[in-house]
Amino acid sequence: AQSVTQLGSHVSVSEGALVLLRCNYSSSVPPYLFWYVQYPNKGLQLLLKYTSAATLVKGINGFEAEFKKSETSFHLTKPSAHMSDAAEYFCAVSDLAGAQKLVFGQGTRLTINP
């Protein structure tokens, strides 16, 4: 069965600093991987997805993630944090074997310090 681990339930960075949110997955087959962002009182919004094409995936709002099969990781990064990036971020995995469900990590709350 697939699973997702997000390291760090809370990450705090200064405005302008690098953002790094960690996600490790386990899957019996090559996965599809997703990062979602959730702003207060809103639903989850897709940031980016990996679907077995390029291993470096660019998403919205300047975020990107790199799929590393050897490390079973899909970490999310942004070179320079902005105050508007403060939100909760979720990593999710789906597999190619036909399961239609997404398995979500527990989420990482990102705080941006001025």
Partner 1 sequence: DAGVIQSPRHEVTEMGQEVTLRCKPISGHDYLFWYRQTMMRGLELLIYFNNNVPIDDSGMPEDRFSAKMPNASFSTLKIQPSEPRDSAVYFCASRGQGSNQPQHFGDGTRLSIL
Considering beta carbons, is residue 20 or 96 the nearer one to partner 1? 96
Shortest distance in whole angstroms from residue 71 CB to partner 1: 22
| C-alpha dihedral sign at 14, 92, 64, 30 | positive
Considering beta carbons, is residue 14 or 106 the nearer one to partner 1? 106
Token pair of 24, please?
């490790």
Shortest distance in whole angstroms from residue 1 CB to partner 1: 13
The residues pairing with 49 across neighbouring beta strands, listed in sequence order, are 34
DSSP, residue by residue, 54-96 = -SEEE-GGG-EEEEETTTTEEEEEESS--GGG-EEEEEEEEET
Considering beta carbons, is residue 7 or 17 the nearer one to partner 1? 7
Binding site for partner 1 (CB under 8 A): 32, 34, 36, 41-46, 49, 51, 90, 94-96, 98-102, 104, 106-107
Other beta carbons less than 10 A from residue 19's beta carbon: 19
Shortest distance in whole angstroms from residue 47 CB to partner 1: 10
Shortest distance in whole angstroms from residue 83 CB to partner 1: 22
